[in-house]
Amino acid sequence: MGASDLIMYEEEFQRIKEVISKLRVDANANVVFLVDKNGQQIAATGDIERLDTTSLASLTAGNVAATDGLAKLIGEKEFSVLFHEGEKDNIHISIVGGKVILVVIFDERSSLGLVRLRVKRSSEELNRLFQQIMEKTERERAAGESSFDSPFAEITDEDIDALFNE
């Protein structure tokens, strides 16, 4: 909680979407998406209509968390890449800037080598973007509550009751 909360703004969101869209094209992939380490989807692009992206996000984060746990057990900092190979589709999972999970789903029209190469390039760009977001969030926070315009600043009991009565 507190300072570690992620806040996404329109400008950065658009740029992140551009980066992952480009990655999808360059890597010949079906789907590219970004999840935070807690399983919340940040952005997705590609053939996502047939996918349950919310579940995908949660399971990916669970997978990464479990693998991180395994890494620590054997004295590694982390396994930076996970790869699952299926009959048709494959999943490539990597960590961007230690915080965000980048998932690429691809089939025989691409290859692991190509995906790996393109992911590496995009990761640097994404890392920079997330760095910016963190700094921006910090700045807004430091500037004080008033300029930090939380939509929940004046939440009431009625607001909360209304949520559950729909």
Residues at the contact surface with other proteins, assessed by CB under 8 A: 1-2, 4-10, 12-14, 36-40, 42, 52, 54-55, 58-59, 62, 65-66, 68-69, 148, 150-155, 157, 159-160, 162-164, 166
CB of 117 to other proteins, least distance (A): 29
Q: Please tell me the distance from the alpha carbon of residue 130 to that of residue 61, in angstroms, as a whole number.
A: 18
Closer CB to other proteins, residue 25 or residue 155?
A: 155
Number of residues in the chain: 166
Give least dist CB 115 to other proteins, A.
26
CB of 86 to other proteins, least distance (A): 19
Q: Are 20 and 33 in contact (CB under 8 A)?
A: yes
Q: Which is nearer to other proteins, 26 or 79 (CB)?
A: 79
Rounded Cα distance, 159 and 57, in Å? 28
Q: Is 41 or 110 the residue whose CB approaches other proteins more closely?
A: 41
Q: Which two tokens stand for residue 4?
A: 């570690």
- Phi-psi region for residue 133, left (φ > 0), alpha (ψ -120 to 50) or beta? alpha
Q: Strand pairing partners for 41?
A: 35
By beta-carbon proximity to other proteins, the closer residue of 33 and 106 is 33
Q: Which is nearer to other proteins, 10 or 108 (CB)?
A: 10
Question: CA 115, 117, 119: angle at the middle one, nearest 5?
Answer: 65
**Nearest distance, CB of residue 106 and other proteins, angstroms:** 24
Q: How far is the CB of 67 from other proteins (least distance, A)?
A: 10
Report the C-alpha gap between 119 and 58 in whole angstroms. Answer: 21
